[in-house]
Every structure is written in structure tokens, then in C-alpha cells.
Structure 1
């Protein structure tokens, strides 16, 4: 997991002063409460992350609760190649008095909930009148989806994707800017009007800024449609269908109209980049000016800021005037699209010994006070407490674009399945080869889907037996 670690911006005393200024509305322990307790938080991160975890999540809470000590328990030792982290976490949570809380990526919650290893938080949220309407809708939706309608964890931070665009390219071509709520058809028309493929502008749009794989781009495009690849219970592929034929046909139309990098095209692009003047941003489609629009996560904002800061010192590099809008959506699935990443979901262990203190910890991490404090230094993720988010560097960009769409439910469920059964990627690889054969003109769409179905069925029987 990639993290940006920041050094403390002040001494502990300054952190304490800042905390005091922000915790006026947050509950504090009674002065007569002298009982000491230790909150043990099990994580799937390695020991090397402990200092970062303490700095980000523990120090302020311990200052506010002087009788509480927080211990992070990594269930994996750095370099350990034994059980998978999630299996080790399950083992830890089954042991009595071992952990009070867990802090994990959101996909890891599935198995913990299925095994009854986490506490349902709904009654606690209701009792303390926590207004989850103040939280980012994508996070609320992801958490209730994973909990089958209930909430078993909350997360103070998250990240989503949006569509970044180069305003200068649109102005030069006399084409209107993208807008929130565009359909894929709208975006394809815009990209075509930019005349991609002429001059430096190689593509009207790319699914990310640094590489391209047509098959996984197609899966990203298709995920809001919830078109199933296979039926796990029946162990059968479900791709030889009219719906999948429509998906592949419409994706190929998108690829051709936006000049999307295809298997051979990407190699040509890399060759062109290597033959020209190279700089640290040459291989980034968006920063190098090769694409007018690209999908990226929130942390790409920082990369854009850094690139513009460094541009005057790099030969051939120009600063980019940019903005961001919501991802395009399918006309029959409005409001759904994009990816969500939650790295620090926090839940209470079912057999926690300090449930009261554990709940206080979760409440504080998801409070306005915590988010406001951390917003001064954390610019790599979004805060679940929506009002604490501000544009970086006082820039004027469309921050709301990261909050408007719901994550595709099927994509979240599929992520769970592939986490639990990594060999299923072999089924995807078959589909990848078939789509590439269609793109190179060697096969018709339905023929390729029929072959994917047949060969995939054989592989499914091997993997799921």
C-alpha cells in the first residue's frame, strides 16, 4: 500500500495546543475516572508502519484520554511469508483478550463479518446520534454494502476517482469543457471533437495517466452495468450473452473514437516518447500533453501540483491548467461509477475487552475535530467528514467531483472474490487475450466471447472445485 509519510509539522506541545483548540465539542473522560486501559488495534500492516499509524491515529486520542494507551498489533511481521495477512488477522481476533479493534482495508471486512468477528455498530451509531449524513456518501454506501445493510466499521479517510481534463487543450480546440454527470456517449463526442491523433495530442481520453491495458479498461467501463463474468455458485461463465456483446462493442467504439491506447498503439507511444526529449513526466499521458482527459485518484492532485511547480525548470515542460469532473456514467446507471479505496476502516472486535473505549476511538477518528486537525497536513486522501475537505494549495478545482458518484456494487463484490481466490485472475487473462484478438481484427466479438466462455468454464472447474 502506497502511503505518503509526512514528518510532524511541529513539536508534541504544538500538537497538544492545536488539539485543545479543536476538541471543544468532543467528549472527554471524567477527571475522577482513574482506571487505566489499553486499546489494542490489530492491523494487517507490517511492523514498519507502526510509527506512522501512531502519529496519524493514536497520539491525539491518547492526549485527550490520558488513561488510555493504544497499542498497534501487526498480524504480519515484515518479510513474513507465512499465512496471508487476513488469515492471520482472523486468527488474532479469535483469541480472547488479543485485540479490541481492527484497522484494515475495506475489502478485508468481508471475511471478518462473515465469521462474526466484528461488532455491529448500528445501535452505537443510533444511541450516540451520529449523523452519518455528514460522512461522504461513497464511504457510507461501500460500508453498508459490505455489511449487507449494516455498518461494521467506519473510516476517517478514503479516495475515489474522477475525470481530470486539460483546460488549455479544450480552449485551443474551441471545445466546451467536460461537465459533471456526463454520459460515456457525451465524453466520446467531446474527445472526437478534440481531433486526437494529430500533433502532440495522441488521445482524447485514457483510463489512467501512465499505462493502458484494453481489457482492464473495459472492465472499469463495464463495472457499473453489473454484467457478471461468471456465476460462482454454478461455476459457470456468463459472458456468451447479448449484454456482454453490447459491452464489448460499445467499448471498442469508445476506444476508436477517443484514440484510446490499444495493444500496439501503446508500444508505439512509448517508442515515440523515448525518441524525444525525456523528462520525469514524459511517460505520463496527461502531464506530457498526450491526452486531454484521464481518470485518476484524488492523490493525482498532488502530482499535478508538483509537476506545475517543477515545470519552469524542465526543458520542454509546460504548466497545465486543469480541472476535474465526475467520471462519465452509463445512461441507464446514472450516479454510479468510479473506484473507491478505503485503507483504514476501523471496527470493534466481537470479543473486545474495552468496547466502550474502542467506540470512543472510532467516534473521534470520524469526528469533525479529527478531520479538521489532520486536514492541515494530510493531502493524499479525502476525509470522510465531508466539510473538512478543502482544495489543495488554495486552488480552485471541482472538489465535489470526488463525492458525487456511488461506487459500483459489482466491482466491490468482484474485488472480494478475487482477493479470496487469486487464481481467478487466470479466467480474466483468457478474456484479455480474446479482447486483444478482437482489437487486432483476428476475431469477431461474439466468437471471442464464445471462446472465453468455453475456456473459462474449464478453468473455473479447476479453481473452484
Structure 2
């Protein structure tokens, strides 16, 4: 743990542990020690062993890897060395590692990585290890577990979640104060946030102020689990639910002053910049947005829960969690699983949550600590835990619905924003493009 970074955290850890926030730590360090202390559990070898752990810079950089993986593991299991492989570096992608004959013991990535592991014949069934080491899955948010099976299209666990990217509605308090508009609140629907944005959209002293950027329409599509394809792998983009989705996005975003050029495209980076400059009042963002905004000096902002669909209340957008998978070829599966168990202890999960990597534990007390170790927010009365309050949704993504089909949807909505097409025409053209693409995919990969 970086104790300089988390000064107040290191001083208060003992008190936190013993007041019950870390539910199992006081009785022996959580799940990872359960097998070692329980005579009914399998024995754990004391022989030196190295676990090759491949992930990307965006999931764990080297400092984070030391904080959340290396240090906690060596504390519990001094004989286990965890080797960091950064798949973001040139020549170290998963495909390149496999081609070079360097197969990691552990691969951590998002849903597409689970599918890639299957394609590369690296995917393994982790259920026997879960049973062997008595991992209590009831501690984990059910939707994050379901996500792994949905994305790998299996009835067993080929990966387990580590943390979740949390989502929220960020708002610039200075702009709300400037125009005398009440702040947003937890629990608002898309329509309510859209109406609030319209109150703030105006030209003032020669500057165009904008009310709301909702991010791409696919975010809300995932929130309500609206599919692109039917069971026969035919596009359903011309159906009424899709028209309603595009109409909703038009209502909350596509109106004069808010979506004029250069903001008539879905460009998240440009809108984060506008928010930081004080020209955009609200933006629907996620964990990385929080970490980006903290670097902007004198930016007075806060957060409420992610906008909810009125027919699907209580849910944020889709699960967005990196999954820990042990490769089929690994010769050190048991040691690799002990690394996983260590990362799922209350202590490590609390540390992740406090540094804006939302814990996947089904534990309100841990979720309430979200973001509290970030130095820039110390001493500020911010509603950081709003990002961890809603449940994530789990869209049942069909086999052929991937990033390229998502792009067809995004491009369709951008054509509406640019006033090149109306909603019906955009969806009809996207429907045709979707069917052509999927037909090609089926020929290549039946």
C-alpha cells in the first residue's frame, strides 16, 4: 500500500478493521487465509512459486499492481512471487505472448478478453478451484458474477471479477450557482436530468453554456438490456424499443445550444474538457472521469447517482469489471487461485474502493468508502459513494454483438445529431448495415 498517498487510511486501518468494516480480517485475514487455517481445506505448499500475471496499464499500472497484488500476496504467502506482464506494451498483447510461447498463468481483462481466451484455447473452468478453496461467492455482487458467464457463454466460471468501474452524474456546482438552478439529486431519471440540462443551456456574456452530455446511446441501451439481434441473429434496430431509445437520447441531448457543432458527435474527451472549463453543467461519466477531474484546479463539482431509465429504476449501466482468469495451460493453478483469494479479501477490496475502483463485494459499508482515500477530495463533503449505490445491469449480449456492431449504433445516432438523417431513417440504414455485418461474421465464424 502507498502509505504516503493514503496517510489518513494507514493511521485508521486498525480501528476500521476492528470496528467491523473488514468483516473477516480480524479473524485471520479474510477468505485468502481460510484454506490455510481450516484443517478440512487442502494444504498449501510453502515451496517458492512464480505466478505470471498479465493485464493492461488501464486496469493496473505498476504502482497499482504493487499496491493491490504484490504487497498483499507477499504478506500472506511469502513463497509466491507475482510477475507483472503489461499487455499494453508493444509486443506483449495476449496474441503476441501466445505466439511467442509465453502463456501467462493469469490474464485479467474485460468481457472481450474472456471471449479471446476461449478463441486462443486458454480458457479454463475455475469451478473446481472455487470448490477446493471454499471461496464464498455470496460475498460478491451477483451481477458481476453473472457478467462473466454471459460474456464467456458458459455455465461455469472461467473468470471472477476483481473490481467494477463505477458510473455517476457529475455536475459543476459553480454553473448551477451562477444561474440559480437547484443541484441534481440522487435517483433522477434521464428525463429529469435532461430537463435540468435545458434550464442551464444558454448564451451568457458571449459564452455558450451547455446543460448535459449523456455519453453514447449504447450506455443507456446496456442499462435497459436492449439487444441488437434476435435469437436468429437478425437485427432488431427498427423495432419500437430502439426508436424510443433514440428519441430519449434526442430529448436529453439533441437540442439547440447543447448539441451544436463541435458537440454534434459523441466525443467524451471533448465534453470532459468543456466540463473542466466550466462550459458544461453535467456529464454522465465513470471512475476514470472522477480521476481525471480531480486534476483540474479549483473545479467545484460533485456527483449524484447515474441517470436511471424510468422503466428500469435502481440500475446503473452495464457491469464493467476486469475478470481474473487462470489459463488452462498454467502449471501453478493453485498458487494463482491464492492470488485471486487475496485480492478478494475485505482489506484489499476496501483499498480498491477507497481509491475509486469500486469493490465487487456485496457490502454497503465498503461501497460507502468509495473514493475516500483520494488526496484531492480529503476534507471535502462530496457525495462520492453515489457512484456505488446503483446495481449494474447485465445485458445478455448475443455472440455476434461486439464493438463493431456497437459502432453501427453509435454512427447511426451521430447521423441524427449531424442532422443528416431522422431517427427512422438512421435506424433503418443501421438495421441493413447490421444484418450485412452479422452475415459476414457467421460465414467466418459459424
TM-score range, shorter chain: 0.7 to 0.9
Residue of structure 1 equivalent to 2:321: 342
Of 397, 400, 417, the residue aligned with 1:413 is 397
Whether 2:180 is the aligned partner of 1:161: answer: no
Q: Distance in 1 between the 2:210 and 2:332 partners?
A: 55
Match of 1:413, SS state, is: coil
1:329 to 308, 312, 334: 308
CA distance in 2, matches of 1:258, 1:127: 59
Asked if the contact 2:53/2:82 (under 8 Å) is kept, the reply is: no
Q: State how far apart, in whole Å, the 2-side matches of 1:415 and 1:339 are.
A: 17
CA contact (8 A) 1:299 1:381 kept: no
Residue 88 of structure 1: how far off its partner (Å): 5.1
Is 2:291 the partner of 1:285? no
C-alpha offsets along residues 348-401 of structure 1, whole Å, 9 cap, x if unaligned?
3345443433322211111122345667xx735333345443423243222332
Task: Give the superposition deviation at 1:287.
Answer: 1.7
**CA–CA distance in structure 2, aligned partners of residues 339 and 258 of structure 1:** 30
Tell me, yes or no, if structure 1 residue 191 matches structure 2 residue 197: yes
The change in CA–CA distance for 1:67 and 1:305 in structure 2 (over 3 A counts) is: closer
CA pair 227-89 structure 1, distance change in 2 beyond 3 A: farther
1:127, distance to aligned residue in structure 2 (A): 6.1
Question: CA 1:408 to 1:282, structure 2 compared with 1: closer, same or farther past 3 Å?
Answer: closer
1:71 aligns with 2:83: yes
Check conservation: 1:160, 1:297, Cα contact below 8 A: yes
Q: What is the SS of the residue equivalent to 1:128?
A: coil
- In structure 2, distance between residues paired with 1:234 and 1:358: 39
Give the conservation status (yes or no) of the 8 Å contact 2:214–2:253: no
**What's the counterpart of residue 51 of structure 2?**
40
- Give distance in 2, aligned partners of 1:373 and 1:58: 14
| 8 Å contact from structure 1 (residues 38, 71) kept in 2 | no
Match of 1:363? 341
CA shift, 1:294, in A, is 0.7
Could you say what the CA RMSD is over the residues aligned between the two structures, in angstroms?
4.3
Would you say the 8 A contact 1:37–1:354 is kept in 2? no
8 Å CA contact 1:323–1:397 kept in 2: the answer is: yes
Displacement after TM superposition at 1:407 (Å):
3.2
1:418-429 mapped onto 2 (5 Å cutoff)? 418=402, 422=404, 424=405, 427-428=408-409
Q: Is the 8 A contact 1:119 1:349 kept in 2?
A: no
Is 1:240 the counterpart of 2:247 in the alignment?
no
Match of 2:263 in 1: 266
Question: C-alpha distance in 2, partners of 1:171/1:55?
Answer: 39
Aligned equivalent of 1:229: 228
Match of 1:203 in 2: 210
Residue pair 2:264, 2:418 contacting (<8 A) in 1 also? no
Q: How does 1:52-451 map to 2 (within 5 A)?
A: 53-54=65-66, 56-72=68-84, 78-80=89-91, 85-87=93-95, 99-112=104-117, 117-121=123-127, 124=130, 128=134, 130=136, 132-133=138-139, 135-136=140-141, 139-143=144-148, 145-146=150-151, 150-199=156-205, 200=207, 202-207=209-214, 217-231=216-230, 234=232, 236-256=234-254, 259-262=257-260, 264-266=261-263, 284-307=273-296, 310-311=297-298, 319-320=299-300, 322-343=301-322, 345-350=323-328, 352-372=330-350, 379-385=355-361, 387-388=365-366, 389-390=369-370, 391=372, 392=374, 393-410=378-395, 413=397, 417-418=401-402, 422=404, 424=405, 427-428=408-409, 432=411, 434-451=412-429
Query: Greater Rg, structure 1 or structure 2?
Result: 1
What is the aligned length?
A: 402
Do the aligned partners of residues 303 and 464 (structure 1) sit closer, same or farther apart at CA in structure 2, a change above 3 Å counting? same
CA shift in 2, pair 1:42/1:189, >3 Å: same
Residue pair 2:200, 2:209 contacting (<8 A) in 1 also: no
The question of whether the paired residues in 1 share the 8 Å contact of 2:143 and 2:393 is answered with no
**Are 1:161 and 1:339, in contact at CA under 8 Å, matched by a contact in 2?**
no
> What displacement does 1:163 show?
0.3
User: Does the 8 Å CA contact 2:243/2:423 hold for their aligned counterparts?
Assistant: yes
Change (3 A) 1:145 1:326: farther
Deviation at 1:205, TM superposition (A): 0.6
| Secondary structure of the corresponding residue to residue 51 of structure 2 | strand
Unaligned runs of 5+ in 1: 1-5, 209-216, 271-280, 312-318
> Contact 1:39 / 1:71 at 8 angstroms: preserved in 2?
yes
> Any idea what the Cα deviations from partners look like across 1:79-137, whole Å, max 9, x if unmatched?
229xxx344567799x9xx654333334312343685722334872696362643x456
SS at match of 1:329: coil
Q: TM-score when scaled to structure 2?
A: 0.72
The alpha carbon displacement at 1:293 in A equals 1.0
Shift of 1:35: 3.9
